[in-house]
Amino acid sequence: MFKKIGAIALSTGLVLSAVSIPVLADKPDSPGKGNGWGKGGKKIENVIYMIPDGFSPDYASNYRAYKGEEAVWDDHLKGLYTTNSANSDITDSAAAGTAMATGEKTNNGVIGLDAEGNELTSILDAMEKKGKSSGLVATSTITHATPASFVANVDDRNNQTEIARQYIASEVDVLLGGGKNMFLPESEGGNQEEANLLEEAKEANFTYVETRDQLEDGTDIDVEDGEKLLGLFADDALAPELHRGETEEPSIAEMTEASIDVLNEDKDGFFLMVEGSQIDWAGHDNDAAWAMSDVEAFEEAVKVALDFAKKDGKTLVVIGGDHDTGGMTTGSNGSMEVNADILQEVTATGDHMAAQLNEDRSNVKEVVEEYTNLSLTEEEVQTIKDASEPSIAINQVVSDYANVGWTSLNHTGADIQLYAYGPQSDEFSGFYDNTDIPKKIADILKLKLDK
């Protein structure tokens, strides 16, 4: 089932005048009467909303250097948007996810509620009300802030057990990611006080899978008959892409493809949100290799979505990060070159390398050189030995070799780029706020986002 999607060579340029590729669509039977007809008589049945968490323009620039060619999204650049939350110039993922899901600002840490505590309707909710199926995919726990923003309403993003409960009680049809412990009772090693949400999910017509092979074999799901799919492939978050090969977990591209296969059985269409969650986590650690490898995995998922959209002709694909993480720069140390391609040789995260150090850190040189193919100087070795956080120090050394810079270990307030492909994708051209993204989708599909 998991098809290999060939690389698509597309021209690049982070410019707001990006050229849109025309998409053929069926002639309307009754344009202007709703039922999925967009402005201009182009029918849109499906929306795939893809969120590379923490991804900003410099991530895109460094990824191009890392890859050695244009990324699949480069030719589909449409706009740029602001990301501040209701109570801060710099947003967290909960407030950003809520804005991107509902079109309303909220305070950091809050999911699916406005700044006054009123429950909000997400674009996923609005499409479900039109009879469409829906799904969420993430490489974090599926109950993490960004995916939760499309279904749940909680005043604290950390209340993932309540988010899990709301998922099972909701109309969402596909849930794929990590976070099995959020669905299990404490008596079985989980985080729920008493409830066994996996049992409740089965009673709610979910097919449950927990490995890549089970996902491949278990997607014969009839969503029109009320059947659903729940895939939880790790107790907590999924593995970073650098280490996924050591697990039985599916890739984000495989989860995306499986979700499309299931949801596309609904003749009324579907909404799918796909989050590349760990790009953000890599940014928090200033781990350039982790960041680029997870961007690469996310690009494979985007290829799956674009391939489907090009064949289908009635699917809108929207791609945009929720905020910048780490203040990554393209170039550092005064150099006029970017050597991000050397990150291709890195085979482990900084966290993993730090975990291999012995008590007195006398093996720094051996460990780092084993996983990076770099030759460390004595000064670099000593810096890592003396560091209060050796993983961050390792990441800084690797980033310096790649001439990738960082300005923060947290989020920043940088503006974020948006890419779009499919019918009405030009509606996303320009400069706007993150709250405008779901409003544009709703306007195109003639949906209403209510409080």
**Residue 53 marked in a binding site:** yes
For 64, how many CA atoms within 13 A lie in the half-sphere containing its CB? 19
**Residue 203 marked in a binding site:** no
Q: What angle do CA 317, 229, 315 make, to 5 degrees?
A: 15
**Residue 323 marked in a binding site:** yes
Q: Are 175 and 231 in contact (CB under 8 A)?
A: yes
**Residue 225 marked in a binding site:** no
In the set 56, 61, 93, 251, the catalytic residue is 93
Report the C-alpha gap between 292 and 170 in whole angstroms.
Answer: 34
Both structure tokens of 372 = 């990076």
Q: Are 330 and 62 in contact (CB under 8 A)?
A: yes
Exposure letters 195-229 (e unless 16+ CB within 10 A, then b) = bebbebbeeeebbbbbebebbeebbebebeeeebb
Q: Are 263 and 173 in contact (CB under 8 A)?
A: yes
**Residue 322 marked in a binding site:** yes
Both structure tokens of 77 = 């650049």
Q: What angle do CA 76, 79, 85 make, to 5 degrees?
A: 130
**Residue 75 marked in a binding site:** no
- Per DSSP, the three-state class of 228 is strand
**Residue 76 marked in a binding site:** no
Both structure tokens of 285 = 């650690």
**Residue 352 marked in a binding site:** no
Alpha helices in 9-106 (DSSP H): 57-67, 93-102
375 among known catalytic residues? no
Please enumerate in sequence order all residues whose Cβ is within 8 A of that of 312, keeping only pairs 6 or more positions apart, or say none: 45, 46
**Residue 285 marked in a binding site:** no
- Binding positions for Mg(2+): 53, 144, 146, 275
- Binding positions: 53, 144, 146, 275, 280, 284, 322-323, 411
Q: What residues are annotated to the active site?
A: 93
